[in-house]
Amino acid sequence: MKYGVILPNFGPQASAEELTAAAQAAESLGYDSVWTTDHLVLPRSDAQVYGHILEALMTLAHLAACTQRIRLGVSSLVLPQRDPVLAAKQLATLDRLSGGRAMVCVGVGWSSGEFANLGQRFEDRGRRLDEAVRLLRLLWASDEAAGLTFEGRFYQLREAVFAPKPVQRPGLPIWIGGNSPAALRRAAELGDGWHPTRLPLREFAQSVAGLRARASGRPVTISLRIRVDPEAAETPGVLSGPPPRVAEQLRAYIQAGLEYPVLAFEAPNAAARLEAMAGFMHEVSPQIAAGGEQGARP
């Protein structure tokens, strides 16, 4: 079983020192990946958690130089509020400079005020995301010798040159973020993975079954961004309690189809976060392995 870790690029722990320490600790502990969160300019009404935030891709570029093995992802890049060509270039560059370690999950976003602040339409963001995913794949995979052409409803290219390509070929795997039926449809039809957030177990299991049926055998990695808080009361969609109880809860998700958990450790400070990350790998992960895990696809 591979595990990812959500990094604190938002809130009071968002500093170079704490992010570097968390990423390096995750690497030394055996985690497969670290993930930043993406927001750019939320309105005050939506900014309680993510108003103070370091830019997701720039943060990963910094961490690429501070680590050697661990993979570097965004959970989730709000692609419809960004220029997809610029995003494709930034991700390809990150992949090149990190030696093929970049990962990306894309989503439609939820703050209409943030879209307005960026001069982007909120109402058609799903259709633009579908088209942007196709554009990213073309830019990363196609031979540009004759120039790339893309004729979409929202985006167009004429004899464009896009180089260098990512190290990963034909391009970075693209996971789809979101809990909605539209996100499930998008993951089944366009994504290499599905990455919802804090879904209760029963809803998660039902969604996985629906996605598998719709994907018709096409491989789609099943991920989940889920909070780990040993001190919390038992809450649907949160891993809580002592290590045996956390392992029991996580094992139930694995039996429902989870292949790649991405863990958000609830911690009041950097030291507590590092302790929680180590505790999970030393006390919970061995119990999962001993219980007969399902192998995760990369």
Tell me: the pLDDT tens digits for 95-146? 999 999 999 999 999 999 999 999 999 999 999 999 999 999 999 998 766 7
pLDDT at 29 over 70: yes
Tell me: the pLDDT tens digits for 86-95? 999 999 999 9
Ordered domains of the chain (ranges, CATH): 4-290 (3.20.20.30)
Q: How far apart are CA 208 and CA 224, in angstroms?
A: 11
pTM of the model: 0.94
Mean pLDDT within 159-174: 95
pLDDT at 294 over 50: no
For residues 5 and 263, is the Cβ–Cβ distance under 8 A? Answer: yes
Q: What percent of the chain has pLDDT over 70?
A: 97
Specify the pLDDT at position 233. Answer: 82
Tell which residue, 50, 31, 170, has the closest CA to residue 109. Answer: 50
pLDDT at 55 over 60: yes
What does residue 27 show for φ and ψ, rounded to 5 degrees?
A: -65, -45
Specify the pLDDT at position 46. Answer: 97
The neighbouring-strand residues paired with 222 are 194
Q: What percent of the chain has pLDDT over 90?
A: 92
